[in-house]
DNA sequence: AAAGAATATATATGTAAAGGAATATTCTTT
DNA sequence: AAAGAATATTCCTTTACATATATATTCTTT
């Protein structure tokens, strides 16, 4: 399976989606995630592992705690992919714009 | 489940991901999709239904054929969401840029 | 070294989703 | 109305995944 589907699958789960939106604020430890999302610690660990395996988050060990934070690259890559679609419609608008201004110019 | 997870879940499946990348070229009928993706017609119909339910594609009936095409809005919304993340890093760079130029200006 | 804190892993269970094959539906043409 | 084309739906089986609970691991502190 491609790296993109891995990314999408990791995000396509409600709890994990909440997680990344939580980590958008700032890095959090496993327990903090668990409490803020109202789930058990094992669940939090598992979901974070999946996000980690997908390259969406990274853990920084601090004493016994593990502080998780988002990895920008993953989201940028996803952004690139989505853009490869939205560009299609943007281009049409741009081209339309171009034609209109062209017409204007010809007047 | 939110509309975003619905979108992500629909895209988080290899076959369906191929489908949308196929439909990026141009609209295709069910049979065309099935042949190009080397899957059975029922599978193609099912996956297209899921994409349809997720608001990613729409079908235009032409005789017995059903021509499927992408729905721009769905991808634009996804784009907005991803941007809400990438903006974070862009902002920091922008701010950094801002500070640097500010310093430059002060000289 | 022992105890406690924080996190990771293992196991079992239930549930959702994908794949395959057969069948049903819809529309067109003669 | 009948036949054929194109697509949708149903049923079944299997796999993947999420949840819950218990247990193991790792690190710090005393």
Among the partner residues A4, A83, A84, nearest to B17 by beta-carbon distance:
A4
Tokens representing residue B15 in the block: 């076959």
C chain positions with any atom within 7 Å of a protein CB: 4-10, 17-23, 26-29
Q: Which residues of A touch B88 (CB under 8 A)?
A: 24, 72
Among the partner residues B12, B82, B88, nearest to A12 by beta-carbon distance:
B12
Q: Which residue has the closest alpha carbon to C26 C1'?
A: B64
Residue B37 CA, distance from chain mean position: 18
Q: Does residue B73 sit at the A interface (CB-CB below 8 Å)? A: no
Overall number of domains in chain B: 1
Asked whether the beta carbons of B16 and B5 are under 8 A apart, the reply is no
Block mean pLDDT (10 aa), chain B, length 107: 95 98 98 97 98 98 97 98 95 69 54
Q: Tell me the nt nearest to A62, Cα to C1'.
A: D27
Domain CATH code at residue B92: 1.10.10.10
Residue A27 CA, distance from chain mean position: 15
Q: Which residues of A touch B23 (CB under 8 A)?
A: none
pLDDT score recorded for residue A97: 65
Strand order in the sheet with A65-70: A28-29, A65-70, A57-62
- Domain range for A10 is 3-106
pLDDT tens by residue, A48-107 = 999 999 999 999 999 999 999 999 999 999 999 999 999 999 876 677 666 666 655 543
């Amino acid at each position: 399976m491609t790296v993109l589907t891995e990314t999408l699958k990791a995000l396509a789960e409600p709890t994990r989606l909440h997680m990344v939106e939580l980590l958008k604020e700032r890095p959090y430890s496993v327990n903090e995630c668990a409490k803020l999302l109202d789930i058990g610690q094992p669940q939090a660990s598992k979901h974070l592992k999946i996000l980690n395996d997908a390259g969406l988050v990274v853990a920084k060990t601090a004493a016994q705690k593990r502080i998780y934070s988002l990895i920008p690259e993953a989201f940028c890559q996803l952004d690139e992919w989505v853009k490869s679609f939205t560009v299609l419609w943007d281009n049409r608008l741009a081209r339309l714009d171009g034609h209109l201004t062209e017409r204007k110019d010809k007047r």
